[in-house]
Amino acid sequence: MNYPVWDVPVIGSGLVIAIIAVIHILISHFAIGGGLFLAMTETKALREGRRDWLDRLRKHSKFFLVLTGVYGAMTGVGIWFSIGLANPEGTSTLIHNFVFAWAAEWVVFLVELSLAAAYYYTWGRIPDKTHEKIGWLYAFTSFLTLFIINGILTFKLTPGPEWLALAGTGREAEAFFQAFFNDGFWPSLGLRSLACVSLAGIWSLVFFSRIDRETDGEVKIQLIRWSAKWLLPAFLLMPFFFAWYLLMVPGEHRDLMTLGMSTIGSGAFTQVTRMALITLMTTATIGLVTYFLAWLNPRDFSFGHGVSLLFLALIATAGAEGTREMLRKPFVVSGYLYSNSNRLADVPRKNAEGYLARSPWNPDRGDRPTVRTGERMFQGQCLSCHTVDGYRSMRKLLHGRDGKAIGNILQMLHENAPDSPYRKFMPPLVGTPAEIEALRQYLDILVNGKLTSPIVDPSAKAVPDSVKVDTLAAPAIDTAKKDSAAPAVRDTSRSTAPAAKDSARI
């Protein structure tokens, strides 16, 4: 626990990232596919002499510039802020290992924004052929941003043995290209490129649906059908790229999907399977809506139809990104960094010396951890995925369990045995026996309002009377009095010196 904790009530920090990221992907992928759409549509219009298309395309390019240049950029910055607060260790890993890639990305992004602005503001002011070339140049640079980001994103699931062999040595840069062009790079690039093209068609359907059917009915029919065609490549090619992608996913992560399928009836770990099914069903619905409403009845295709398609695309995007993220569990970087920011290589050391031994946020510097230590253990190792009362609520998950049952679960997480049902999707609980006991006490009081099981002293050392009330070795306080036990945890936590600084709430 080397960083302050970002505690987001109810929804948790993970959902904050997810909400911002899904909106950003819906816009940023349009920025990539839409650039190709503008260039190809202008080329087609000039070649076939369709000047009426060019007027509509000019207006579309303004919509494109505002949406991608303003809202796309804002949500992109929002992702950086949220991941930096929610998982600073993971963010630091990506920055340090891909400094050159990030620098190249920002340079290309500035060129991309400049070209998008130049494309819109030079309509009718420069020769058509020159304007067309600006459009194609923008399409190329926008694809370059996808190329770079794709390498970094796929690295997290398939970092490769070359990089993992150097991880933590300070020589990771020697395996930069192996890490960047990892096993998942090319199939993921194919999937994302197809998604970009599809979203270009969907956003264009939304925009062109507002063309008046009475005064410009023929133009509307042509542009709606042209936009609908942009969804076809995805339906034809995505299954092949998806199968290729799954083959590249490490076996232990691919098992998460099969685990969900085999236990979907009992309701075990089915989130990955559910997300994948949501993506499949919404994608199929998009295809049906596009064919029956846009292709067969383009003149009657309304703005409401377009927004409905966009909403389905939002759900499909959320499902696809959720599946990709959950496949990586229990890691942020597979084989290196767990989702709660513990490095795989550091687990033995932290189990021996203590999770909070080197932490500036440790409330108890002695060898007698208190329930305040348990709270810090919860914040550092559980809060990245769970909340107290909201998303993945700890109170709901542990409801009905007494302190002994909670202790058994914690011990199972700590041992992280190969046959543990939690091993596939939860990181191991690290820390000394005393720290784990402190966490058990904290969770017991959090869930039950009082300590329901006797306090265990892992060290079995004598404790002076002056500290008995506040330490693990203390005799059981009057746990029958819920109101006196629960506030004690909160009060002592607030009295901890770093506590005023290390918990950021929104």
- Burial annotation 281-301 (CB, 10 A radius, 16+ → b, else e): ebbeebbebbeebbbeebeeb
| 79-107: pLDDT as tens digits | 999 999 999 999 999 999 999 999 999 99
| 302-321: pLDDT as tens digits | 999 999 999 999 999 999 99
| 268-293: pLDDT as tens digits | 556 777 888 889 999 999 999 999 99
Q: Which pLDDT score is estimated for 140? A: 97
Instruction: Kindly report the number of other CB atoms within 10 A of residue 79's CB atom.
Output: 17
Q: Which pLDDT score is estimated for 265? A: 54
Q: Which pLDDT score is estimated for 166? A: 94
In the chain, helix, strand, coil percent, each to 5?
A: 70, 5, 30
What does DSSP assign to residue 469? G
Give the whole-angstrom CA distance, residue 196 versus residue 188: 12
Below-50 pLDDT ranges, the chain:
460-506
**Which residue from 306, 434, 459 is spatially nearest to 376, judged by alpha carbons?**
434
**Which residue from 395, 303, 338, 284 is spatially nearest to 156, judged by alpha carbons?**
338
